[in-house]
Amino acid sequence: MGEPVPVQRQDEPPPVHSGQVVEPWRPFDRDLWSPFREMDNMLSRVMRAFDAPGLYRWTGAFVPAVDVEETEDAYIFEIELPGMRRDDISIEVSDTELHVSGQVLDKERTGVLRQRNRRMGAFDYRASLPSGVDPDRTEARFDDGVLTIRLPRSESTRPRRIKIV
């Protein structure tokens, strides 16, 4: 007879052959191969490659989280910019576009930064505006890290209620 086939029990670690862990073959295991897990692993490898020293690293602007609300008389943009100062934000409005940009500056640190999850650097948000926005009456307010921009509609483009006779 040949060599005995290794059997793995639930409470035992997988068998080791020549320094490598050998996973048991489970032909009917639904988790054996998943295209979504495969794609996630591939994307993770690509992203790790960009963080490798000496390779190109994307340092472009990030886009902050934005909510856009349409009311009867205006378009309201709420843009999350936590930790920002109002002097670091630039707002430009034309008849066709809203452009909000700025820079999130890193604070001076005295210790060693062990983890970074907050976004730093330039941010950039652009939105195409529908016709009928009155850019001259734009209002902006910055409270508690949320920039609220109100773009009023011109009188001629506001919806009107028509009474049926």
Maximum distance among all alpha carbons in the chain? 99
Compute the distance between CA of residue 81 and CA of residue 3 in angstroms, rounded to an integer: 65
The verdict on 31 and 98 lying in the same domain is no
The verdict on 101 and 141 lying in the same domain is yes
pTM, rounded to two decimals: 0.58
Residue 152 within a domain: yes
Distances (CA, A) of 107 to 19, 31, 101, 110, 118: 47, 45, 19, 10, 12
**Are 149 and 77 in contact, with CB atoms under 8 Å apart?**
yes
**Are 90 and 101 in contact, with CB atoms under 8 Å apart?**
yes
The verdict on 135 and 97 lying in the same domain is yes
Q: Which amino acid is present at 57? A: R
pLDDT tens digits, 98-142: 999 998 877 788 888 888 777 778 888 888 888 888 888 999 999
Segment of 16-25, 27-36, 50-59 carrying the highest mean pLDDT: 27-36
* pLDDT confidence band for 67 (50 / 70 / 90): very high
